[in-house]
Structure 1
Amino acid sequence: MPADTDSAKPVRLQRVHILEKRARLRADPKLDRDALLSLANRFASVPNVRRALVRPSTGSVILETFGPVETVLAHVAEEGIAKITQPPKTPPVHQVMQLGVMRMDMDVKKRTGDALDLRTTVGLALLGGAIVQLARGQIAGPATTLALSAISLLDKK
C-alpha cells in the first residue's frame, strides 16, 4: 500500500488533557516516532495551530493553538486527519481497591499453599506487633490496641 494513502487515513486519538488553548492527544493504538512526526506535521498545517509537539515515549501529540482548541479539534476531525474520542472511563476507586485486595489475598494463598489468607496474615502480623509492644513494657496503649485488632481479624471466618 502506498504511503500517501496510508497517511490519508484518519488516526484514532484519545483526549488525554484538554485546556483552552492546549490539547494532549494519545494515539490508540500507539504510533511509532515517524508516524507521530508525520501526524504532527499534518496538525501543523491546520489553521490556528501554534505548534504540534510529539511525545514518542507516551505515543502522544500536544497541540498548542492560537484560539479555542475545540475549534481546531473539530477542524481536524472534519479534514479527516484524526478521529478524536474520549478516553475509556476509569473504574470506580472502590472496585480498583477490591480487585487489589482480592489479588493480594490470592497471592498470599498461592505462596503459602492455601495455609494462610490475607486476613489471617494481617491478623498474625498485628498479634506479633502486640507481642513486641508487650515485650517493651507498653501494655495499656499499643499492645492492647494491636491485640484487639488482631483478635477481631482472626475471629472472623
Structure 2
Amino acid sequence: MLPIGYVAHRTGHRVRLRIPAHKGDTSYFARIERELAACERVSYVEANPLTASILLHYNGTDDDLRHDAVALGLFDIEALQPAANPVLSAAATRIDQIDRVIRRASNGSFDLLEVAFVGLIGASIVQALRGQALGPASTLMANALAILALHRARRTGR
C-alpha cells in the first residue's frame, strides 16, 4: 500500500504536498525528487524530509499528479487534509476552560484576555524598572497592545 499524500496548497502550477507517514525519511524523499524530476509535467521539485513536504511546479491537474505519483509507486493523494494537531486542540480547549473559570470567578467582570493584558503591562513595567526597556519591556508592551487591539476589534464587531 502506498503512503498517503495531501495537497497542502496549490497556486497555479505550484503545488505543495505533505506525506506525514515518511517525515524524516531522507531516502524516501530523495527517491521522490529523483522520480518526479524525470516526469514530463514536472519542471521543478524540491523535497524536504524534515517537514515531510514536496514543492512542485506541475503542469497538470491534481488528478494527473495523483495518477503520476501512483504510477511511479511513490504515494497516493487524498483530497482531505489530515485532522488538526490534537495537541493544539487540547491546549485550546484548556485555555477556553481557564477563560470560563475567570469569567465565573469575576461574575463576568474579567476574562482571560483582560488578565493577560494586565499581566503583560505589569511585567513590562517591571522590566522597564530593571533597565530592560528596549528588549523585554518593549516586547511585553507590544503584546499587551496587541491584546488591546483585539479587545477593541471584538467590542466594535470588526
State the TM-score, normalizing by the size of structure 2: 0.51
1:48 aligns with one of 41, 49, 52:
41
**What is the one-letter code of the residue matched to 1:72?**
L
Identity %: 17
> Partner of 1:24 in structure 2?
16
- The Cα shift of 1:52 comes to 1.0
CA distance in 2, matches of 1:40, 1:59: 12
- Structure 2 stretches lacking a partner, 5+ long: 119-158
CA distance in 2, matches of 1:19, 1:53: 16
C-alpha spacing 1:44/1:11, structure 2 compared with 1 (3 Å): farther
1:123 aligns with one of 109, 123, 142:
109
> Partner of 1:33 in structure 2?
26
User: Retained in 2: the 8 A contact 1:20–1:68?
Assistant: no
* Matched pairs, number: 104
- The Cα shift of 1:44 comes to 1.4
Moved more, 21-30 or 73-82: 73-82
Q: Does 1:73 align with 2:59?
A: no
- Structure 1 stretches lacking a partner, 5+ long: 1-8, 107-116, 130-157
Greater than 6 Å deviation, 4+ residue runs: 95-98
> Partner of 1:148 in structure 2?
none
Considering only CA atoms, is the larger Rg found in Structure 1 or Structure 2?
1
1:123 is paired with a residue of what secondary structure? Answer: coil
Q: Does 1:88 align with 2:72?
A: no
CA distance in 2, matches of 1:51, 1:84: 19
C-alpha spacing 1:55/1:98, structure 2 compared with 1 (3 Å): closer
2:109 is paired with a residue of what secondary structure? Answer: helix
State the TM-score, normalizing by the size of structure 1: 0.51
- The Cα shift of 1:64 comes to 1.0
CA distance in 2, matches of 1:19, 1:77: 22
CA distance in 1, matches of 2:83, 2:57: 25
User: Retained in 2: the 8 A contact 1:53–1:63?
Assistant: yes
Root mean square deviation of aligned Cα: 3.5
**What is the one-letter code of the residue matched to 2:11?**
L
User: Retained in 1: the 8 A contact 2:35–2:72?
Assistant: no
CA distance in 2, matches of 1:12, 1:83: 5
2:51 is paired with a residue of what secondary structure? Answer: coil
